[in-house]
Structure formats: structure tokens, C-alpha cells
Amino acid sequence: MRQKYHIRVVLVRSLYSRNLGAVSRAMSNMGVTQLILIDPKVTVDFEAKQAAASGQEALENLVIFKNWNEFNQAYPLVTRIAFSARDGENRILQPFDVLLSDLHKGLSPYNEIDEGQVGDDRKTDKTLELAFVFGPEDAGLTNQDLENCHLLAWLPIYGNNTSFNLSQAVLLALFMVRYQWEAKGYLFEQRGPESRLDLDQKKGDYDWFPDTSFKKFLTALQFDIEDRKVSIFSTMKQLFLRTRPTEKEKRLLAAIFEQAARKLNGLRSDFGDD
């Protein structure tokens, strides 16, 4: 059985319409057609279509969301891989080729895998659903953006210029996954366009992550969850998301957080600790 996979490209707060067209053209080169914009600052204008040249399909299939909450509701069961050139206190980046090797071993969320299988035999008949997430051209993805992604990756650079043009980054990421995975027998699943109407009708009662319960738990431990300089919430959430929990596991986490918060608050009440 050949493992199937599917990719969507997600651009967050894009600034330049010409880059939308260049990304569409890069996607066309790699046979990927589903482009998603979150809170875009531009529209698909003549300049975008001109830059796309013969690669218009992703622009024609474009789906736009106002914010991450809308995207999370529409795509709750998709593995999000964020690309960043910046490492830091709250950013644990992996080389993209290493990350792809890990995913190739069958380590993907929302797919039931036979625990008796090992190595390259760990396949599932479900399609591996991936979203490649890229930030705005000026400053890239924020820590708040990364709270909505499972994994963080960096792309290889060998020259003195340490940043990619947006379309170059998209093209390189798509080439790397298709080249590496299809050499191992994976099969890219082609699909038609997705409409907002179809996505709205398919929305389920999924929680992207039990944020509210987790914040209650951290607050009960007396952490300052509003401190963005040292964000315990963001850092710990990233650690949980790197394991890419299933819906069942997220519900269990929420129950644990709620129960622990109640017990901690009860203990402080018993001891008169404000």
C-alpha cells in the first residue's frame, strides 16, 4: 500500500499581491493547487495574476480566512508545519529534511497506525494532511502564529543572504517534500478546489487545542500567562503540539487541566492562600 499525502500552502498576513502570484506559479511547478490566505493585507489583482503567468490554478482555488480561529475550525485535523528563519527562546526549529524523515516514519496526527508495524512499514490508509505555513514578508510568523502550528522548520541556506523570497521558500519546501517522500514510495493526492461553503458545512465540534482549560491550569499554578516576554503558555503549548495530539488525547488533556486547576484552587482556598 502506497502512503498518500496532501499539501496545502498557507500564507499569513501577506503584504504584496505580486508574491501571491509568484507563490501560485511555484505551487503549479510542484503540482500543488490549494492556497489559503489568513488575514491577507492584499487582494488578487492584475499584478498577482501577471506574476502567476501560466500558474494561475492556486489563485483560482484560493480560500481566505479572517483569522486563525476560522482556519482552525475549517481544518482541525491538518498537521501545520511553520517555516521560520528565526530561532529563539520560544522557537524550537528543526531542519526541514529531518522533520520530513520523522513524518515519513508514520509520525502524523489523526491517523490510526498499526502498532505492530515498524519503520517504513508504518503506513495508514488515511491521507497525511499537511499545511505549510509561511508568514508575512516583512517580519515572518509571530509567536502567536506559532501557537497554531504543530511543528517549526527551517529551510537550508548556504550563502550569505539568510532570507528567502516568499515564493522561493514555498518552492523549496514543496520540492523537498515531493522529492524525498516520492523517492520512498509516497503518493501525492491530487484534489479539486475547496470552497468556503463546503468547508463551513464540514465544520465539526473539534477543539484545535484546549486553550481555556490549559490557561486555567497555568493560572492555578500562579504563572503569569499574559507575560509575552517569557510565555509559559506559548512554550508549553508548543511542546504539546509537537506530539500532534489526536482529538481523543486533546479531550483527555482538557479534562486533566480542568481537574488539576480545581484541585489547586481548592487547596489554596483550604489554606487561605490568595
pLDDT at 114: 40
Give the pLDDT confidence score for residue 237 in this predicted structure: 83
pLDDT the model gives residue 104: 66
Measure the CA dihedral 255/260/266/267, to 10°: 170
pLDDT of amino acid 123 = 52
Instruction: Report pLDDT for 207.
Output: 65
Class of domain 4-201: alpha beta
Question: Is the entire prediction scored with pTM above 0.85?
Answer: no
Instruction: Name the residue ranges covered by the structural domains of the chain.
Output: 4-201, 211-270
Q: What is the pLDDT of residue 228?
A: 64
The reported pLDDT for the residue numbered 35 is 96
Contacts 24+ apart (CB under 8 A), 181-186: 181/5, 181/100, 181/104, 184/104, 184/120, 185/2, 185/3, 186/2, 186/3, 186/4, 186/5, 186/104
Per-residue pLDDT of the chain in tens (274 residues, 90 and over written 9): 678 899 999 999 999 999 999 999 999 999 999 999 999 999 999 999 999 999 999 999 999 999 999 999 888 888 899 998 765 555 678 899 988 887 766 544 444 444 334 344 445 567 888 999 999 998 899 888 988 998 899 999 998 888 899 999 999 999 999 999 988 888 998 887 776 656 665 555 556 788 889 889 999 988 887 776 667 887 888 788 777 777 788 889 889 999 998 988 887 666 665 5
